[in-house]
Amino acid sequence: MNSNRRLCAVAAVALLVVTAGCLTVSPSISSADDSPVFERVSTVSEWGTSSVQGSVTLTPAATTEMGVTRLNVIREDGSSFYATSVDAGQTSVSLPIPTGTRSRIVAVNTVNGTVVDTYNVTVRGTRYP
């Protein structure tokens, strides 16, 4: 990489950090919850600012027997962060999860309007202001 490209890349990351808040490096997602819906939530992101990309693995019964049709990510303060639909038989979902706060991933059956399960998650990593 030539010096001009390197300088542009460093400037872009610096601008991103300044405009988006703290930088979280080497993030991981943890939860102490046991769940009939969620098998695992992890991330392959190397860094994130306000969120990291999460990889959610659902149990095989989540969308078929339990009727999960939507996943909502809710911040600790109760505000909605992200929502996505889930298809019958789907067991893998990618969604953003906020950094710097605890969050809940709520599995919903939109057909009958019920909450099937709630999974509490925390994004951890080295934070730089």
Write down the CATH superfamily of domain 22-128: Immunoglobulins (2.60.40.10)
Residue 10's pLDDT is 55
Residue 82's pLDDT is 98
List the one residue out of 50, 44, 11 whose CA is nearest residue 26: 44
Tell me the per-residue pLDDT of 16-55, one tens digit each, with 9 for 90 and over: 444 446 899 989 999 988 999 999 999 988 999 999 999 9
List the one residue out of 124, 30, 118, 39 whose CA is nearest residue 71: 118
Q: Categorize the per-residue pLDDT at 125 as very low, low, confident or very high, splitting at 50, 70 and 90.
A: confident
Tell me the per-residue pLDDT of 96-105, one tens digit each, with 9 for 90 and over: 999 988 999 9
Distances (CA, A) of 25 to 17, 29, 129: 12, 12, 11
Mean pLDDT of 57-78: 97
The token duo for 89 is: 């038989």
